[in-house]
Homo-oligomer: A and B are copies of this chain.
Amino acid sequence: MTDVLDALLGARAYDLEQPRYAGAPTFPAHEPGVLLHLHRRHEHGLGEPRTSASALLVMAEHSGTHLDALCHQAEDGRLYGGIEVDARVQTPAGFTVLGAETIGPLIARGVLLDVAATLGADRLPDGYAVSACELEAAAEGVELRPGDVVLVRLGSGALWADRPAYEAAGGIQGEASRWLAERRPLAVGADNLTWDVPGAVDEEVGSSLPGHVLLIVRAGIHIIESLYLEALAADGVREFAFVCLPLKLRGGTGSPVRPIALV
């Protein structure tokens, strides 16, 4: 106990979550993002000095910084592990297998592949498609080990408050996701809405968002979207302890999360 507590208290924590509010960048399929409507309020006249306020959240699982559960994607009607999607697996209240509640706390070695910095840019141009070679270049000098969480920085994080600008970011090419999947990470993540380049179809996979097939469906690797990686990058942090605690939403296809990096 003493060791882990001392280590934690002595570490610096980087907050990798973007703030959550109505109108924040959101992939069209995940509208309305998050709505927070305060309904109970602090107000006089309720009979005692104490008052309570609280809100209702209407929120897509995949709003803001979030992690994809393995049931989120299928290929030819099958989930990771070859599980066929039928009415026993997929229900109105979510999935009976591979749902968000089956994901343990993610505690792993984290590695930042700062592609923007590798290419000498503050951030990659709009729509830029990151290649496997560029990931490899960004990983130079840092070993990628099975079970790692690999975070790829495009440099979009500072644009969160400017929705159209944020949504113009590119993403990771199919071949780059393939290269990463071969390294067998626990999870990958990036500072864009969809990991993949929106709209781009990979020839071998035959689908849009090919990384979602290559990583989630074929390899059982979680994807984390809309990470905030600017502070990590500014400090030149390339290796860290990564902690991410997805909510155990029974049957859920993902969870909003607040990951941290500790060094």
Binding site for B on A (CB under 8 A): 1, 3-11, 13, 15, 17-22, 29-32, 34-46, 48-62, 64, 71-77, 79, 85-88, 90-95, 101, 104-105, 107-109, 201, 205-210, 212-213, 217, 237, 239-241, 243-254, 256-260, 262-263
Beyond contacts A3-B10, A37-B92, A53-B253: 8 other A-B pairs, Cβ-Cβ < 8 A, are: A1-B240, A5-B241, A13-B105, A15-B248, A34-B249, A37-B93, A38-B92, A42-B90
Contact assessment for A36 and B73 in the assembled complex, using a CB-CB cutoff below 8 Å: no
Which B residues lie within 8 Å of A207 (CB)?
48-50
A54 to chain B: closest CB distance in Å?
5
A-B residue pairs in contact (CB < 8 Å), sample of 22? A1-B239, A4-B10, A7-B8, A8-B107, A9-B109, A11-B107, A18-B248, A19-B101, A21-B251, A29-B52, A39-B39, A45-B86, A49-B207, A50-B73, A50-B209, A52-B212, A53-B71, A53-B73, A55-B253, A57-B61, A245-B260, A248-B258
Tell which of B37, B43, B107, B239 touches A39, judged by Cβ atoms closer than 8 Å: B37
Which B residues lie within 8 Å of A105 (CB)?
13, 15, 258, 260
Contact assessment for B8 and A243 in the assembled complex, using a CB-CB cutoff below 8 Å: yes
- Copies assembled: 4
Least CB separation from A99: chain B residue: B36
Given A72-B52, A76-B49, are A20 and B57 neighbors across the interface (CB < 8 Å)? no
Which B residues lie within 8 Å of A93 (CB)?
21-22, 36-39
